[in-house]
Structure 1
Amino acid sequence: RVIIRQEPEAASKYIAEYVVDRIKSFAPRPGQPFVLGLPTGSSPVLVYRHLVRKHKAGEISFKNVVTFNMDEYVGLPPSHPSSYHSFMWEHLFSHVDISPSNVNLLNGMAEDLEEECERYEAKIREYGGIELFLGGIGPDGHIAFNEPGSSLQSRTRVKTLAYDTVLANKRFFGDDVSQVPNMALTVGVQTVMDAREVVIIIIGAHKALALQKCIEEGTNHMWTLSSLQLHPHPLIVVDEDATLELKVKTVKYFKSIETVAKSCGMGQKMPK
């Protein structure tokens, strides 16, 4: 499904409400947590803001939620202000009632990086897999740090970052490109695809070409988000600016599908 909203705020609110509904429907409890995959970056910030508001309003608890983040830079300690550890605690974890023991993030300072990646995959398996993986994309259509050319069968691994990605992320390092790590640990495309459901947020005109490539063209390892075409339960939520490269017919199709679904009482129907 593709859900189109007028602007980023509305798209982010839709996803936050969807995630909350999924957690409530699952009814997690001790011994049977809801396993949630999470991204970093600019796109999910508004989603996290809405989730925090809903938690503070008493609408959702994260006590029985276990999280696995998508990626982390190699060589940045968790305390570094630009690490994804710091990002997640700043924008979500420190504002909700999640137990620190239920938070899983890759360790970019691990002595053996390959072993760290294997450990991460094993821990996901221990929990029975990820129920819902939330993600964003880069302008080149990459999901997590699975950049163009990544295998669609890839698993959590060490990844060299493309220069375009380094440039895009320099804003988190005082606009100094020399400070941006050029390697990261990332879940693989298949790691994401193994989740029972994948929900992607795509915001802005600079990601319009990536959206077009990923939903109007075929599955292609040069646009790794296109792998979602093969997933049984993918949901992509976008703002109007992100649809600028889509055919008018495509946009009308997805809007009409949502209208019909709502009229049938299936507005946010969960996968069986």
Structure 2
Amino acid sequence: MEVIITEEERIGELVADDIAALVARVPDGVLGLATGSSPLRIYDSVARRVDAGTLSLARARAFTLDEYVGLPAGHPAGYRTVIDADFVSRVDLPADAVQGPDGTAADLAAACAAYEAAIRDAGGVDLQILGIGTDGHIAFNEPGSSLSSRTRVKTLTEQTRRDNARFFDGDLESVPRHCLTQGLGTIMEARHIVLVATGAGKAQAVHHLVEGAVSALWPATILQHHPRVSVLIDEAAASRLQLADYYRYTYAHRHQVGQ
């Protein structure tokens, strides 16, 4: 696990560098897209490069992490709508090259299986972007989630529903109680995972992620078992790390290919 402690403004550029390197190497590479505030600087940086003509995602493909159950297509709080607005509409990634779990399906189990099959048929995710919740969840894998879980229906906690009510005009009753989400086992199959966290509110979760025991109580800790994870955080999110100075040192003196 590589831990990079840097300014929030720089995080987007560093991850955009990784995406640019991926599509230069594999033009039809597969991205894993996350919604929420954490990835927005990444999407801004990538969009600027596409607009400048220095990066193209025209041959790339992408999969989103999760979706509410029961919201109609095009609902403003639906994650497909959000990712289209935050990212897809701003770059040259074809809209039909982006796929997410189908929260409108009559048979949700079949929809989850079809989504897993689509990821496999695409050759798997090359670079997966993640945020992390204050309780250590990634995607909608709340504390207690199986560390080997696959895409499935999950019941949202009341805290998550209250947190997300702001996207539903503050109306808690409008927030769905269920979602479809990639499981932790699904996420772990991505070849490179990039997790972004900023702010003091994420400090405890980051501490568990990087330095704690692997536990279903802190679902993101499963990433400790992944061979290639980049954790990009600002000083506030790093404030509880016991080995922060070591992470700064190793990043400043990281080994470069060819050295």
Q: TM-score, normalised by structure 1?
A: 0.91
Partners of 1:4 and 1:11 within 8 A in 2: no
Cα offset for 1:17?
A: 2.1
Partners of 1:34 and 1:66 within 8 A in 2: yes
Q: Which residue of 2 aligns with 1:11?
A: 11
Q: Which residue of 2 aligns with 1:22?
A: 22
Cα offset for 1:14?
A: 1.7
120, 137, 145: which one pairs with 1:125? Answer: 120
Cα offset for 1:4?
A: 0.7
Query: Where does 1:190-205 land on structure 2 (aligned, <5 Å)?
Result: 190-205=185-200
1:88 aligns with 2:98: no
Q: Which residue of 2 aligns with 1:260?
A: 253
Cα offset for 1:78?
A: 2.5
Cα offset for 1:234?
A: 0.7
Partners of 1:78 and 1:84 within 8 A in 2: no
Q: Could you list the runs of 5+ residues in structure 1 that have no partner in the other structure?
A: none
RMSD: 1.4
53, 56, 59: which one pairs with 2:51? Answer: 56
Q: Which residue of 2 aligns with 1:69?
A: 64
Partners of 1:12 and 1:201 within 8 A in 2: no
Give the distance between the partners of 1:163 and 1:22, measured in 2 at CA.
38
Partners of 1:209 and 1:245 within 8 A in 2: yes
Q: Could you list the runs of 5+ residues in structure 2 that have no partner in the other structure?
A: none
Cα offset for 1:137?
A: 1.0
Q: TM-score, normalised by structure 2?
A: 0.95
Cα offset for 1:226?
A: 0.4
Q: Which residue of 1 aligns with 2:184?
A: 189
Give the distance between the partners of 1:142 and 1:229, measured in 2 at CA.
14
Secondary structure at the counterpart of residue 3 of structure 1: strand
1:158 aligns with 2:153: yes
Cα offset for 1:37?
A: 0.8
Q: Which residue of 1 aligns with 2:3?
A: 2
Cα offset for 1:73?
A: 0.5
Between the aligned residues of both structures, percent identity stands at 40
1:79 aligns with 2:74: yes
Q: Which residue of 1 aligns with 2:216?
A: 221
